[in-house]
Every structure is written in C-alpha cells, then in structure tokens.
Chain A
Amino acid sequence: MTDSAGPQTTGADSDGSPFILAQDLSKTYQQGRLQVEALRGVNLAIPAGAFVVILGPSGGGKTTLLNLIGGISRPSGGSLVVGGLALDRVKRATTVRYRREQVGFVFQFFNLLPALSACDNVALTLLARGVGWREACQRSRHVLCELGMGDRLDHRPVELSGGEQQRVAIARAVVGKPRLLLADEPTGNLDAESATQTAELLQRLHHQGSLTCLLATHNEQFCRFATTVYEIRSGVVFLQGDSR
C-alpha cells in the first residue's frame, strides 16, 4: 500500500488484489449529542473494471460509502484501499490528488456551478489538474460533443434540462479519464426517459474504457448493467449476487 495517488497504467492491480478492498469499514457521525453509525463492518472486494450497483433505501448509507471510496470523507474504523492507496491512512493532500486524478463524481442533483457554461463546468476538472484554460475548453468541448451536447456548449445549467445537466455532470466526471466513476443516485432527479438515457450512457462509458463504476441507487433498472450488485441497509452491506 502506497501513499501515492498517481495514475496506474492498467485497470487491474499488478498483484491481483481487488481494485477496491474494504475490510470492516465503519463510519460514525456526530449529530449534536447523538452518534450515528452510518456504516458498520462493511467488507467489499471489487475488481478493476467492474460495474457495481449498490442498492438501498434513502438513509441506508449509500452516499456515505461512496464518499469514503471517493476520498471525500475518512473512515472511522476498518481499512479501505482503492487502487493500492490506503484511504484510511493517507494524508489529506494525497486524497485531494486522488480525487483529482483517479475519481469522477456524478451527483443526484448534478452539482453544476450556475455561473459557468456547460463547457466551463466540464473544464473545471482539467483546470484543477493545472491544464490551461484553452486546452481544458477544447477537451471539454470534445467530450460534450461525444455525449451529444455539442449544441449546448455555452448554455448555463439553468438553460439545460435535467437530463442535459446530468450529461454535463457525467462529462465533467469522465473528461479527466479517471479510473473510478462514482455515481450517487444519478437518475434520482430525472424523468423515466432521461433516467434510461443516463443509465445507458454510463454503461457505454464503462464499456469504452477500463473504468470501474460504482452506482449508488434505489433504481433497480441499473441492475441489468451491473457485474455485481450489493444491497445496503442500515449501514450494512450484503452481496446480492452476480447478475451475470
């Protein structure tokens, strides 16, 4: 286990270990005087290139799990290794680099910056890596065009439909070619048609590269694309089965 967040060349780890390995993972929040156990004794072993769906009701711990795997928050207990990086032990600067270079996030409410155009929102990911504005915009335009958003490049989020906003958010997540895509209820705020399109888009992106996808959802529609489905209830994760 290293403290480096640098990109690795292959989807599978060289020693054959899972891309994501969680052992006895737990997360406890302090809410006033109350201690809330959001995750309890979670064990996961996800190979590189997998398409994993985490099913569960609201408040079950899906978002917490994605935040831990995405390096946004730290576990309270247990160990968590992603791509050889021990997220429970690394320094904060390393998790920032990890998020910047290896992870793409897709959120339920899209989380696009309202002041920026679709193109600028996508470019944010590259700008964080130190890519110049012009080049970042060029690459962002290219990705947006690939996702069918070529005629919406200069539109602000408020000028886009929910489905379009989510496509921009997905473009922002994949423009930096991350190894891991984390999507938290990506269709939770979309109509049925947009939800299907988004699901198919995520599946297409997964097939195109060696991307490992983790989707947290209560929408069982995604299960047909998944290599593995986990269920999460009250902070405990169960393996539902291999859908293949």
Chain B
Amino acid sequence: MRAIVLFRLVWKDLVHDRLRSVLSLALLSVLVTLFLLVTALARALQTFGSDEGTPANNLWIISANVIDPGHSSLYQETLDQAAADVRANYGPDSVTAASPVIFRYLRVADRLMQILAVPPADAESVHHLELLDGHWPRTTSQAAVSRSAMSLLDASIGEQVEVYGRPFSIVALFEPPSAQAVSIGMTYAAGQNLLGTGHGFQIGVLQLSPQSDVPAVQSWLEQTPNLAGRYSVYQARQVTRNLTRILEATAVLGRVFQMLALLVVTFGSLNAASLFVLERQRDINTLYAIGYSTSTVQTVLLIRTCILSLAAFLPGWAVASLLLAPHQGGAVVFSSAIVPVVSGATTASAAALVVMAAGAGAWFAGRQPQAPS
C-alpha cells in the first residue's frame, strides 16, 4: 500500500478529530517543555557541581567559625607569621608564596558576585587566575571580569562596570580556577580603596611547594600559637568543595528529575498512542476485517503518533526557549553561574526517544487483531 495513501488516511483522521488532536498535541507539548526545562537546569547544575575548583597545594587561612570566607578578617602580620612558621618547621622552600586576598560578595548590576582583590603579581602564579584577554588591572580604577560575570553583565573589555558605587574600567577577561565563578578581580590596592582596611583582608593564601604534604602542613599549622583558636586552615580545594557539595546534591537531584522528566515525556507519548488505539479499537478491527494487514495498521498508527509527537516538539521547544531566554546569562548561586541551555542534542535525542515510545505504543497496541464488534 502506498505511503501517500496512508498519510492521507492519517491526515483525514487528524483533521476530523481535531479537538482530540489539539489536546494530544497540547499535552505532549507541555511534557516536552517540562522535559527541556528540567534537562537544561539539570545540565547546568551538573556542570557546576562537578567543578574541581582551586589548585591542591594552596592553603587558605580564614577566621575560625565562619562559613562564608567573606566574613573572615586577618592581617598581614598573621599571614607573614604563618609563612615563617611553616618555613621554620618544613624548610625554607616549603612556602613559595604568601598572598592576601580581599574577598567579598557584592551586588553588581543586581547580581551577587565575588570581588577578588589580589596583588597583581600573584594573580596567575598563586591564585591561578587565567588571563584570557586584555591585561591585568594596574590601577585602582581597573577591573578584570570572569567569563561567567562578563556573560551576566553582558559587557566587554573597554566598558565600565560599577562596583559598590564606583566605576571600574574592564581591562581583562579571565577565568578563575572554578570556571563557573562569577568574579570581578582587581588589584589589592583597589580592594583596599573600595572596601577599606578596617578588617584587613579575608583570606591568607599560603602556596606550598609541590613536594609538600599539604594535609600534614594544614593540621600542624592550625595548632600553631599564631593561629590556634582564632583561625582555621583549609586546603583551598576543600573550601570550594564544601561550597559546591550542596550543589552536588542538587545536581544529583537534577539528574533524577531529568530522568523522571524523560520518563514522563516517554510514557506520556506511549500513553497517548495507547489511548488512541484503545479508543479506536473498533475502527482498527474493521480495517483488519476488510483486509488490512497488521503491519499496515501498525504503520498507520505509527505515522499518526509520530506526526503528533514530532509536532509537539516545535511548540514545546519554543515555549522552553522563551521561558529560558531571560536567564541566558544564568542564575548565580554561591557566586557561581548556573546557565540553563536547551541544547540541540538533548532535543533531538528526546524527540527520537518520544517517537520510539509512540511507535512502541502503536506497535504493541496494533499487534493483536481482534474480531470487530
């Protein structure tokens, strides 16, 4: 039997039963939208949750009993003493750098962002900030902006950004070790200018030599009279991990939701196909009786469900894209960007799965011809 004849029969049926067709289309579209939105969010969370963060041989010294490093406060003498203590105990080459970091969370352009003020010479060598474009800030009115922050600000090098009421010229695009971090970098002097010196700085970074036993140094240093009771010492990666652990759990949930959404859209499609077959059992049995083969009837059902399922992807994709459009810059959680994206690959694979599910529904339902009533 010619394919065009089958298409014609299906089309006549879809047009005749247009209310049911539209309702099926609407239901599948909602499921597709749900799936694409949940998938976009889950993928964004997975990207964030799997971030490795800062390098392994940096120790962070911050005030004891603070969860947010932005609330920490220490001074140059404390950091210098800590470096001296480690060198005295582990050898003069055990500490390769001791660098202060002014670290705050500030609202910039209505988004919560990290402010990192570091000595320019330490930016790459100690703090592993990677310069992608431009040059590191040299004056107190210049700023470097991380890739995620640049995307959120919708800005570029040469433009200005206002931080805490002061204009800064953007002179660099950089990537922090935690790639999703939404950060604005500046010189240490600029940080002091902007935020004052009353609280010193927030993080003292000790860069240990690669041969160091970092956990051993960490435990020992925390017990020294200089730090004991007043400051905590962390491995830098550990701090990042503590922050991202919460999101890792969310990322796992995201994956679960993604699977659930996929199941919902798959079974929704399967259900729509099965319900249609159930509803039209008499017509289907009549077709068998007048000489249509099982495979021809299954093909008719398959064409019908495929047309509906694929047609549902267009509005589903459009609605999901529209809903995500305002968030293309991403949401900021713990000053890291979570950027939901509807990817072509996700859409295509889901479409293929839905068509397969619809096809399975049509195939299973159509495989047992019955006597017409």
Contact = CB atoms under 8 A, between A and B. Distances in A.
Contacts of B9: 116, 127
A67 interface: yes
Interface string B1-44: 11011001100110111000000000000000000000000000
Contact of A73 (B291, B293, B371): B371
A101 B371 CA distance: 18
A72 B13 contact: no
Contacts of A125: 290-291
A109 B282 CA distance: 10
A192 interface: no
B290 A128 contact: yes
Nearest to B16: A115
A201 to B, nearest CB: 19
Interface string A68-83: 0010110000000000
A156 B372 CA distance: 20
Interface in B327-373: 369, 371-373
Interface residues of A, number: 33
A111 B371 contact: no
Contacts of B8: 133
Contact of A130 (B1, B12, B288): B1
B289 A99 contact: yes
A224 B28 CA distance: 56
Interface string A95-122: 0110111010101010101111000100
Interface residues of B, number: 28
B280 to A, nearest CB: 9
A105 B292 CA distance: 13
B293 A67 contact: no
30 contacts: A63-B371, A70-B289, A72-B289, A73-B371, A93-B293, A96-B291, A96-B292, A96-B293, A99-B288, A99-B289, A99-B291, A100-B291, A105-B372, A107-B286, A109-B282, A109-B373, A111-B283, A111-B285, A111-B289, A114-B16, A127-B5, A128-B1, A128-B291, A129-B291, A132-B2, A132-B5, A133-B4, A133-B5, A156-B16, A172-B290
